[in-house]
Amino acid sequence: MLNDTKTDETHSTPYGRRPGGIWGVGTTGCLIVAAFLAISAARRRGRGSAESAAQSSPRTVLGVDTATTSKDLAVRAGPGHPLQKIPESDLYILTPRKLSTLAETAMARKTTRRYGEKLLRLPDASTDDGAGGIPLAGLLAGLADLPILDGLISDRILAQRDRGLIYRQEQTFDVTKRGLQIICGAGPAATFPGLALLFAQRIQHHCDLMGLASDIMFLFTSPGVVRGADIPRAKARYALFCRQIVMAIERPEHIVFHAFSGDALRLARATVAPIVRAVPWGPATGKIAVADRLNTCADIALAANLLLETGLSTQADAEFRDFDGDRADRGLGSRCWSRIGATRVALDRSRFEAISTAESMAVISEAYLNGITNYEENTNDQRQ
């Protein structure tokens, strides 16, 4: 996926790298987080332990899913690189519950009764294998574990703020004051569309509490990645989710979640952590197409890595495109959608080492043979 480059030298710009986090929601989101960690580890090879770097970095990761299979997800950055999993401390599997149990819990309060009424119309199932194509099931599973999710999010926002302050004081490298929170997953799925906006609201809440200025971005796959017979329903879920994103960015005050505790969780317009853009990610650019979901996730992870680990995102916004100015223009409707591109180059280390060794031996052999030939000629001249 990547060649071994040193980020500090290769991507040095007058713009600082951004503190922030990548939040994977759903199986695809967790796969993106695993690929992000694999890329970060590959780029740090020979420059210290990846684990120790993660413990002090102002950029954090978290994967949340309803399916237990995310515990076994592993990605390698390329040939010769080890498999990378999400550490247990950075992965949380929502407690498996039956839909009937979630519906009963929702029916107990007036504010959440509408959730339960909708869920009771569906056949009973369990969330241990995922949300089953039902975004509402993913949302209620998240609301049932909201205190735990709040703790996980709060810890990471606090780490971003404190580590960012340490980095700026020690001037280890230039890091901007405004962070970036990337929420990623599969747009046509169920867990991500159900939980993504709730995650954004809780990230907003904790950024406000801790005074961490950040932008929130959604990076998610499009229905083009889906394979199988569920494509029509996947497209319907994706269209509904896109509509919700536009509403969250343009009129966030109209989006309210009601927790099982009775609290109203509102998206805020005037906040230090606004939702600024959404980036749907397809498997093709019009010229090239990736092979499968794993490659699409690798592309998204690479884009997230460039946005967080380099100064290219702040440089692009400052020099190439006035995104804030574009967003303020409502002449053509909502301007919340963005396009981001990333290019991957796969280098086979063993193949390159074999080629370089063969070329080196050829050069040495040629020099040796030339030396013998010159020696024989000089000897013959001396004899004559």
The CATH number linked to 225 is 3.40.50.1440
- Non-local (6+) Cβ contacts of 284 within 8 A are 224, 290
Q: Answer yes or no: do 384 and 300 share one domain.
A: no
| Predicted pLDDT of residue 220 | 92
Residues 103 and 101: their CA atoms lie apart, in Å, by: 5
Residues 136 and 195: their CA atoms lie apart, in Å, by: 9
Helices (H) and strands (E) in the chain, counts: 13, 10
Tell whether 1 is covered by a domain.
no
- State pLDDT tens for residues 291-343: 577 888 888 888 888 888 777 666 666 555 555 565 566 565 666 667 666 66
Q: Answer yes or no: do 137 and 280 share one domain.
A: yes
Residues 239 and 188: their CA atoms lie apart, in Å, by: 8
Q: Give the residue numbers spanning the domain of 354.
A: 349-384
Tell whether 150 is covered by a domain.
yes
Mean pLDDT confidence for 16-34 = 87
Tell whether 38 is covered by a domain.
yes
Q: Answer yes or no: do 264 and 373 share one domain.
A: no
Q: Answer yes or no: do 138 and 166 share one domain.
A: yes
Residues 313 and 122: their CA atoms lie apart, in Å, by: 44
Nearest of 349, 381, 16, 350 to residue 164 by alpha carbon? 16
Q: Answer yes or no: do 57 and 41 share one domain.
A: yes
Tell whether 2 is covered by a domain.
no
Q: Answer yes or no: do 343 and 362 share one domain.
A: no
Mean pLDDT confidence for 360-381 = 69
Tell whether 358 is covered by a domain.
yes
- pLDDT band for position 347 (cuts 50, 70, 90): low
Distance between the two ends of the chain, CA-based, in angstroms? 62
Tell whether 316 is covered by a domain.
yes
Q: Answer yes or no: do 212 and 224 share one domain.
A: yes
| Predicted pLDDT of residue 257 | 92
Is residue 216 within 8 Å of residue 181, measured between CB atoms? yes
Q: Answer yes or no: do 115 and 187 share one domain.
A: yes
Q: Answer yes or no: do 265 and 200 share one domain.
A: yes
- State pLDDT tens for residues 135-166: 999 999 999 999 999 999 999 998 888 877 76
Q: Answer yes or no: do 35 and 160 share one domain.
A: yes
Mean pLDDT confidence for 199-207 = 92
Tell whether 298 is covered by a domain.
yes
Whole-number average pLDDT of the chain: 79
Pick the range with the lowest mean pLDDT from 4-18, 39-53, 115-129.
4-18
How many domains are contained in the chain?
2
Mean pLDDT confidence for 80-104 = 89
Q: What single DSSP character describes residue 338?
A: -
Q: Is the pLDDT of residue 78 over 80?
A: no
| Predicted pLDDT of residue 144 | 93
Q: Answer yes or no: do 103 and 196 share one domain.
A: yes
Residues 68 and 109: their CA atoms lie apart, in Å, by: 29
Q: Answer yes or no: do 278 and 189 share one domain.
A: yes
